[in-house]
Structure 1
């Protein structure tokens, strides 16, 4: 149990400990309490370090455990928690309850359930079957056309404040007008429109501009400036003035009705109706109309906005500029219908009076390429139940929709009304149209440009679809059919004709060549191919090939059960020169399918095989094996002899990575000894210099490598390594010499003969088994005696009871 994580985890464990204390015994609880206290003391925590989620989880677990508040507090205080910590926990829980029970918030019980099911719901989700996923998809409501316009996070209808001043802009309070005087006189004024609607400049009387367009305000201001600047803006005066809009004011508009967020919004005076709708989240997709949005000014509807004009044709004629105190009202939707199936934009559409099903299909983008346009299905609500109707293409233009209609456009069948097919050994296989020119099998084959040369003429097959859609095979003789020797077969829709190829009715033909050629291979069979042709295709002979011994193995195709011979293949032998000239009698021999040609290798032809000789020799390096009978002594003569520093007892002979112990000195003295091995490819011989060390390993006190001392014996080197260990098996000691040979300790009667130690040797002393001489301590003796005594008393009691029983 780990109680060192948080106070929450500690308190939960304390609950369990307290229950143990109540229900079982005092001893287990004390052990658990000591473990918790020791662990918690390493990482002190406080109640204010807990998150709200942990508080909720603690509340839920405490209720589930069945403990009272007093019992929980007693368990917490027994673990070092103070009364102030417990008080903080109570305050935190009361605060969470108060926040959770506010209007619009989840109740605390819901929060507790969420905390409890946080991980359980994730785990249980993994075990949901596919049916539940399918069920969630099927109940998903279709999208309302136009609702996505106001949900896009990257779309914005913010007005552009960096455009030129619109000439029809209406000036109002808080607008800023910039007056520029240029020419013979230069002045600049920034005038803010007062709440009374006027501006003041120089010593002139106030100029009322509120409610005027920017063009009208310019004319009025210039007219007043002529009192200070004679002839302003008149030809020849040399002084001119212009009025532009500086900082713009803010206006307040109200959005009511079926909008997502109704209310009053403060927006720029350059904002339009679309700006305001976007700020309010647009029409409510559940109840609002996208085609009846009223802009009300001075209690009069000045524009009805149809968002479909903008969505379908990018027409912004209804996106008018708003004025202060304008009201935008989104009406309830009137008639809505749903279009599903093979249209480009399946969705729910709003229909205005006078629009027909044709208009709705145009809203949906028209039919897809796979749409079944001959008819469509209508599901309509009636006062009591649903009704299904089928509408033909002729009714679409005049059919009047009703609210709740659902139009389903199906998909065309994966089926052809006039297709016939031909496949196999024809010049142009594929699909063809059944009609005036193609009415029978012969006309279909002629349209496919006839049969290929490999066509099997004795049998073809016509596959026909029966009434229950099963296929029926109709075989026919295509050769006789094409020669007009049999009656032609009429075709019907979905017929398929297959012409077999002769290659379809046999095993694939091939021939092979193996042996001493440059490119052995298996190739498809070619008619009229000779042995020389196949060798040329295989890249010719290798250097070690024997052209006079070429064999061809041929399968026996006849029934061998009637013959008395036991041969399974027939062998043909040929003699050919390296110029690929065959004997006149053999030139007429042609290969047949499945023949295998073997080109033999010369018995004396071999690649160079090397051995390596390194070390203290006159000419070290790699040497080719001269003959199959060449031995170690032979290659030693070829290296030019040994250097004076060569140490023959340390020579090491290796074959395929394994050292083979050899006595090179004995081989040189007598080449007939058994150690003079035949050479093989990859052999290596290394003749080192005279070593000057001896290595002592194994069961010695100080394994080491020491210098070789002439006259030292086996025991002298063991002494230099500190002597034997207690478990040394010195009777089994042995020496490994530098050339890989080994010699062990020998014994005769009471005398022991140790092996001779030479330079470069390894002295090995094996280990013996360890013995445990450790005696029992007094405490262990007392414990053992107690156990034996207890077992004796128990056994005596059992025997006495058995005696009384019987």
Structure 2
């Protein structure tokens, strides 16, 4: 009698719903939400059943999808009943022959499946940074289920059992086809022939027995060479078997697998060995109370060896033993982990499990922390002991990293041809040999002094200076090198400022240029792109620093040289320097830090223009003719004003800002102060007369109203609803369309409001917020305090 624990029973219950959910998932393609189960034909149900068998979805996914399609529990129950009825109809013909041209093999429908969400059964995930157990991740991979391949040929040693289906194809002189299902009694039934017992036989033995019985029943010469009649016997459908997993597995229990299922397949269904307590190297397959195979998962993980992945038989038991010895291997190895060690294996074997040392590993020794009866102790294992050292339970091995040091390195840097690191070896043991190995000194090397930074025995560093020129010429003894020595040869450029010259003024590319020896002024002008159009070539100045020491204090701070250079960059003398006697000539050469100035011609100017827009005859850009040209002049050049021009609202802008001025009288009086001189980029805007007056700020209805000749300032405020409670009426002002402003004037109790013109903006400011004003609660509190103090004072006075 088969026994199942609670977990296996729950798995079978879930399995019974699996295909029902699959059917409803697939029934969505036929709009089964509208066409209920009662209206489906048997062919449709069978079609859904076949598609469900091919579905790769998990139970939770299929359940969720079915419920999302609108199916109820009643629908699920009805579909399950329809499937059971159809299966029972097919079951009444068990053992009978029928024609089937399909030879595809199918899995049994009652197989155990691993849950999609195994978090309820898996051990709690370790969030610490400790090492993982080697091999534990093998059974956590959902893409590695070890399910059997149904498309392989029938194994000749396959043991036939109840519920297997055997196909017989007879061809040649006689033709027939049988699909025979093995009954619980172990027999198959061919029409008109007594039952043939095949249970317990291999598929090859069953084929021989069936063919022999058919030959006696009338198929003369069946399977005999030369008879012309052949028979092919194959396993068409397979049965399910029960396998029990016990011991230190994640989910022990009884599982239903196919008869082609392997040991790894069953281990995957059970979640594999428990990483906390289970052994990955002592897994026993027990058949008939006898161990038929001991599985070592390390063989598969490390070498892909599947010899231990044997095919299971019904009622097999897989037992995962407790681990005996585990050790930790951390540090500079390729696969740090917790490894299980069997008797006879050494530390070298475990290093092989870890993939060996990493590239940066310190291989001379390994540090071991081992538990004793009372405490721990440190053991240092040399590289020679790896092959013989036997690990013990609880050992923790740490492989260190090599030091960032070199046992034979010397360095050379600076003004040598090939600076870098070199090996301290025979033939390279002194300073001169090191420089020769670096292909010698550069031409700019400063040979009066070189330095060696040397590491002392106490790890401090010291500086050793020497005359490199004398050493290279053999005038002083060569200096022996030591490990970690660093030689630095300075360049003459390292001992001075960075040399440059500057060119400014009327050249195309004023810049700071790196100094080059033998550079003339003309050369520098050419580097700067030549003269600009407005340059004055006959006046070029060079400012030079004074370097020579002199007695006393000089009155001059610089030396000035002047040259005359034509546009073909031909230099000619202009003026000599009285102090040095050096004249401006083609022999003059620049020195570091010289500054060359190219002046601009006094009469050269680029075009400057103003823009005129609005109500003029010819609006547009106008060049400033001379330095005395004013606003009235450019209006005349623009053809004068149009009849619609409103000069009271004309705006003059400079640098983007409005210059407040009244331009109404400038045409009649060119001497008026508002008739400004023109500047480059100025803008003159002459609008049409505006019929609108805007009222903004602290009024009840800020808006724009039409201009009325008889209205005054207060009338426009009334048009906007009057002042608000927080209006500062005494500070009201007006902005005229030409940019000028005027405010309200007060004398004693009298206020004089500004005049309103078309296009003006009336602005009434708000009173500032009083953030220090007391609230009602604060005032009540102060009054209460004053009352209390008053009462206290009265009592004191009365006494």
TM-score (norm 1): 0.73
Question: How much has 1:411 moved relative to structure 2?
Answer: 2.2
CA distance in 1, matches of 2:247, 2:750: 121
SS at match of 2:207: helix
Q: What residue in structure 2 maps to residue 615 of structure 1?
A: 614
Cα pair distance change 1:312/1:682, threshold 3 Å? same
Q: What residue in structure 2 maps to residue 485 of structure 1?
A: 475
Q: What residue in structure 2 maps to residue 421 of structure 1?
A: 411
Question: How much has 1:441 moved relative to structure 2?
Answer: 0.6
1:152-551 aligned at under 5 Å gives the runs 152-226=141-215, 227-551=217-541
Question: How much has 1:313 moved relative to structure 2?
Answer: 0.8
Cα pair distance change 1:423/1:732, threshold 3 Å? closer
Question: How much has 1:266 moved relative to structure 2?
Answer: 2.0
Contact map agreement 2:135 2:280 (CA 8 A) in 1: yes
CA distance in 2, matches of 1:193, 1:461: 95
1:414-463 residue CA offsets vs partner (Å, 9 max, x unmatched): 21111111111100111111111101111111111110011101000111
CA distance in 2, matches of 1:647, 1:788: 62
SS at match of 2:585: helix
CA distance in 2, matches of 1:534, 1:225: 113
Q: What residue in structure 2 maps to residue 78 of structure 1?
A: none
Q: What residue in structure 1 maps to residue 795 of structure 2?
A: 801
Cα pair distance change 1:750/1:245, threshold 3 Å? closer
Q: What residue in structure 1 maps to residue 705 of structure 2?
A: 705
Question: How much has 1:334 moved relative to structure 2?
Answer: 3.3
Question: How much has 1:161 moved relative to structure 2?
Answer: 2.6
Q: What residue in structure 1 maps to residue 589 of structure 2?
A: 590
- Unaligned 5+ segments in structure 1 are 1-104, 106-134, 771-779, 781-785
SS at match of 1:345: coil
Question: How much has 1:323 moved relative to structure 2?
Answer: 1.0
1:658-677 aligned at under 5 Å gives the runs 658-677=657-676
1:62-77 aligned at under 5 Å gives the runs none
CA distance in 1, matches of 2:495, 2:303: 64
CA distance in 2, matches of 1:768, 1:314: 87
Q: What residue in structure 2 maps to residue 120 of structure 1?
A: none
Q: What residue in structure 2 maps to residue 145 of structure 1?
A: 134
CA distance in 2, matches of 1:183, 1:707: 116
CA distance in 2, matches of 1:654, 1:410: 78
Question: How much has 1:573 moved relative to structure 2?
Answer: 1.7
Query: Which deviates the most, 381-390 or 616-625?
Result: 381-390
Contact map agreement 1:713 1:756 (CA 8 A) in 2: no
Query: Which deviates the most, 441-450 or 163-172?
Result: 163-172
Query: Which deviates the most, 723-732 or 292-301?
Result: 723-732
Question: How much has 1:184 moved relative to structure 2?
Answer: 4.3
Question: How much has 1:360 moved relative to structure 2?
Answer: 2.2
Cα pair distance change 1:658/1:192, threshold 3 Å? same
Query: Which deviates the most, 506-515 or 249-258?
Result: 249-258
SS at match of 1:148: helix
Identify the match of residue 566 of structure 1 among 542, 549, 555: 555
Cα pair distance change 1:705/1:312, threshold 3 Å? closer
Contact map agreement 1:514 1:598 (CA 8 A) in 2: yes
CA distance in 1, matches of 2:336, 2:299: 18
Cα pair distance change 1:182/1:310, threshold 3 Å? same
CA distance in 2, matches of 1:336, 1:434: 45
Cα pair distance change 1:693/1:559, threshold 3 Å? same
SS at match of 1:673: coil
1:527-548 residue CA offsets vs partner (Å, 9 max, x unmatched): 1111111111111111111112
1:292-322 residue CA offsets vs partner (Å, 9 max, x unmatched): 2222222222222222211211111111111
Contact map agreement 1:172 1:210 (CA 8 A) in 2: yes
1:87-126 aligned at under 5 Å gives the runs none
CA distance in 2, matches of 1:423, 1:749: 89
CA distance in 2, matches of 1:675, 1:490: 89
SS at match of 1:575: strand
1:45-56 aligned at under 5 Å gives the runs none
CA distance in 1, matches of 2:422, 2:288: 72
Query: Which deviates the most, 401-410 or 584-593?
Result: 401-410
Q: What residue in structure 1 maps to residue 34 of structure 2?
A: none
Contact map agreement 2:732 2:765 (CA 8 A) in 1: no
Contact map agreement 1:529 1:590 (CA 8 A) in 2: yes
CA distance in 2, matches of 1:275, 1:622: 90
Contact map agreement 2:717 2:723 (CA 8 A) in 1: no
CA distance in 1, matches of 2:263, 2:186: 25
| Aligned-CA RMSD value | 3.8
Question: How much has 1:673 moved relative to structure 2?
Answer: 2.3
Contact map agreement 1:696 1:717 (CA 8 A) in 2: no
Contact map agreement 2:610 2:624 (CA 8 A) in 1: yes
Cα pair distance change 1:734/1:323, threshold 3 Å? closer
Question: How much has 1:189 moved relative to structure 2?
Answer: 1.9
Q: What residue in structure 2 maps to residue 682 of structure 1?
A: 681
Cα pair distance change 1:798/1:308, threshold 3 Å? closer
Question: How much has 1:494 moved relative to structure 2?
Answer: 1.3
Question: How much has 1:148 moved relative to structure 2?
Answer: 2.4
TM-score (norm 2): 0.74
- Unaligned 5+ segments in structure 2 are 1-119, 121-125, 574-583, 769-775
Higher relative contact order (CA 8 A, sep 6+): 2
CA distance in 2, matches of 1:298, 1:330: 17
1:198-257 residue CA offsets vs partner (Å, 9 max, x unmatched): 111111011111111112211211111122322223345443321211221111222233
CA distance in 1, matches of 2:408, 2:300: 45
Q: What residue in structure 1 maps to residue 70 of structure 2?
A: none
SS at match of 1:557: coil
CA distance in 2, matches of 1:191, 1:439: 91
1:674-717 residue CA offsets vs partner (Å, 9 max, x unmatched): 222111122222334455666788999987633656xx575997
Contact map agreement 2:712 2:756 (CA 8 A) in 1: yes
Is the helix fraction higher in 1 or 2?
1
Cα pair distance change 1:344/1:798, threshold 3 Å? closer
Contact map agreement 1:554 1:569 (CA 8 A) in 2: yes
Q: Are residue 641 (structure 1) and residue 640 (structure 2) matched?
A: yes
Contact map agreement 1:417 1:493 (CA 8 A) in 2: yes
SS at match of 2:243: strand
CA distance in 1, matches of 2:786, 2:516: 98
Contact map agreement 2:249 2:272 (CA 8 A) in 1: yes
Contact map agreement 2:133 2:339 (CA 8 A) in 1: yes
Cα pair distance change 1:799/1:301, threshold 3 Å? closer
Query: Which deviates the most, 289-298 or 655-664?
Result: 655-664
SS at match of 2:169: strand
Q: What residue in structure 2 maps to residue 87 of structure 1?
A: none
Cα pair distance change 1:170/1:802, threshold 3 Å? same
